[in-house]
Amino acid sequence: MAVRVFGARLRQARVLRGVSGVALSAQIEVSPSRVSRLEQSDLVSLRDTEFEKLRVALRFPAEFFLERPLSMVSSADLAFRAQKGTSSREKEYLAAFAELAGDFIESLDSRYGLPPLRLPIVRTHETNSEPTSMAEYAGRLVREAVSLDADTPIHHLTHRVERYLGVPVVVQAGRLRREHGFSGEPPTDSSRVRHTAYSARTGEFGERPIVVTRAEQSWERMRFSVAHEIGHLVMHADVARGRMADQLEEEANAFACELIAPISTLRRSLRGDITLHDLVALKRRWGLSIGALIKHLARGGAYSAQRERALQKQLHARINPVTGKSWGRTEPGFDDHQPERPRMLLRWTERVFSTTDTRAIASQQRIWPRDILDEFLAEQRSSSFAARGKTSDVNADSGGALSLAPVVDFDEARKRKQSG
């Protein structure tokens, strides 16, 4: 008896399990060229015994291979916030993850409509070629889309992105990577995983943009990564990914700073020579790291390149007494918040399935393996998130500032550390 399966599903399952084509061919007792031909086919017929071996080897339900994939994302389609040297293998993994996340999101949308997409798109001809001016223009459009003016800090950026822009944010828990490493080595090892976040356009016609980030311990980095990827989606929709990658990254960084802390508002609030103390106060209000603020203000003409270099030198020379590391490694307020977490997928999953238990969901829909569902949902926040300690909420008594802790009192911090 023959079973007709989709070749793209075979490729997705193999890549997400961290299995090479050669290794899979050995497990199902066919040639490597046979595996390659299967993956490159649209629909392919398999003997039922061959299909059963493949399904068992890849640990995906039979129904997964029988359902036509909607999202087709290649590694060239991804916009990265990544260190240089991200391997082609890692990019292939991230593209496959985006495809499955996109299809899961589409399945939720088909059963209980997601918030409409309201993401502004800036075409390259709408501004001149200067990254700062493009970032200011795009940042202003996005702030308008999320119903905030330039004088108001964004107290939970990820929530605004999902609710007002309609862009789902997925935080990878990293469990798949630890369990299914490349060549037996966990891809989550810091020497191997190079990306911080990425974005892609999913759905049958690429109509649903998504942002995917790594699980972060740093609340500053999490906010910046989400903003950075929104910058790619807003400004680079009509730009080939391989062209001038460094310039695209510079534009996305400038946009992230502008979205979080508009330069026009910052300039009005500053007088005289800008010091690190001034930057700590700005970080407290806007939720943008001191390191990013130094570059942002220099791009915006608040001071000279020489002053920028001096501030960077001071940032890396000053020691945080709590950690014993420089401010460049752990800035004041580095642990004042839990990193922001998205909510849209968990909320819509509960609406569709009346539960967020992945075992129950996997038994209901019989397409997604439970560990894949865990990877989609494990880092989503529940409605009770704010009750679990530190949050990024705006303090009503702080004039709109993020409720970060005050500037570190070095003497008091040193006493606490010694007494502890």
DSSP 170-207: EEE-SHHHHHS-BTTB-TTSTTT--EEEEEEEESTTS-
Q: What is the pLDDT of residues 357-375, one digit of tens each?
A: 999 999 988 899 999 999 9
At 133, the pLDDT band (50, 70, 90 cuts) reads confident
Share of the chain above pLDDT 90, in %: 71
The whole-number pLDDT of residue 246 equals: 83
Crossing angle of helices 344-353 and 370-377, rounded to 10°: 130
Residue bearing the bigger pLDDT, 310 or 271 = 310
* Sequence-separated contacts (24+) of 353-361 with Cβ below 8 Å: 356/382
Kindly tell me if the per-residue pLDDT of 243 is higher than 60: no
CB atoms within 10 A of CB 123: 10
The whole-number pLDDT of residue 127 equals: 59
Share of the chain above pLDDT 70, in %: 82
The whole-number pLDDT of residue 391 equals: 42
At 396, the pLDDT band (50, 70, 90 cuts) reads very low
Reference 390, options 313, 334, 344, 350; nearest CA is: 334
At 239, the pLDDT band (50, 70, 90 cuts) reads confident
Kindly tell me if the per-residue pLDDT of 26 is higher than 80: yes
- The residues, any chain, with a CB within 8 Å of residue 55's CB and separated by 6 or more, are 61, 62, 65
Q: Dihedral sign, CA of 9, 15, 20, 23?
A: negative
The whole-number pLDDT of residue 173 equals: 80
Provide the 8-state DSSP code for 18: T
Kindly tell me if the per-residue pLDDT of 193 is higher than 70: no
The whole-number pLDDT of residue 407 equals: 39
Residue bearing the bigger pLDDT, 77 or 174 = 77
At 106, the pLDDT band (50, 70, 90 cuts) reads very high
The whole-number pLDDT of residue 389 equals: 43
DSSP 81-100: EE-TT--HHHHHHHHHHHHH
What mean pLDDT value characterizes the chain? Answer: 85
- The residues, any chain, with a CB within 8 Å of residue 353's CB and separated by 6 or more, are 360, 361, 364, 365
Query: Both tokens of residue 192?
Result: 């191997």
Contact call for residues 308 and 316 (beta carbons, < 8 A): no
Reference 226, options 210, 248, 242; nearest CA is: 210
Cα–Cα distance between 381 and 371 in angstroms, integer? Answer: 18
Kindly tell me if the per-residue pLDDT of 126 is higher than 90: no
Phi, psi of 244 (to 5 degrees): 50, 55
At 182, the pLDDT band (50, 70, 90 cuts) reads very low
Q: Would you mind telling me the total number of residues written for the chain in this entry?
A: 420
At 308, the pLDDT band (50, 70, 90 cuts) reads very high
Contact call for residues 199 and 229 (beta carbons, < 8 A): yes
Kindly tell me if the per-residue pLDDT of 418 is higher than 70: no
Stretch 23-46: mean pLDDT: 94
Kindly tell me if the per-residue pLDDT of 110 is higher than 50: yes
The whole-number pLDDT of residue 323 equals: 94
At 216, the pLDDT band (50, 70, 90 cuts) reads confident
Residue carrying the six token digits 């001191």? 290
Containing 279, the helix (H) or strand (E) segment is: helix 276-286
Q: What is the pLDDT of residues 333-359, one digit of tens each?
A: 998 889 999 999 999 999 999 999 999
The whole-number pLDDT of residue 146 equals: 96
The whole-number pLDDT of residue 53 equals: 94
Reference 376, options 387, 386, 365; nearest CA is: 365
The whole-number pLDDT of residue 76 equals: 87
Contact call for residues 250 and 135 (beta carbons, < 8 A): no
Residue carrying the six token digits 């292939």? 92
Stretch 394-403: mean pLDDT: 41
Kindly tell me if the per-residue pLDDT of 28 is higher than 80: yes
The whole-number pLDDT of residue 217 equals: 86
Kindly tell me if the per-residue pLDDT of 206 is higher than 70: yes
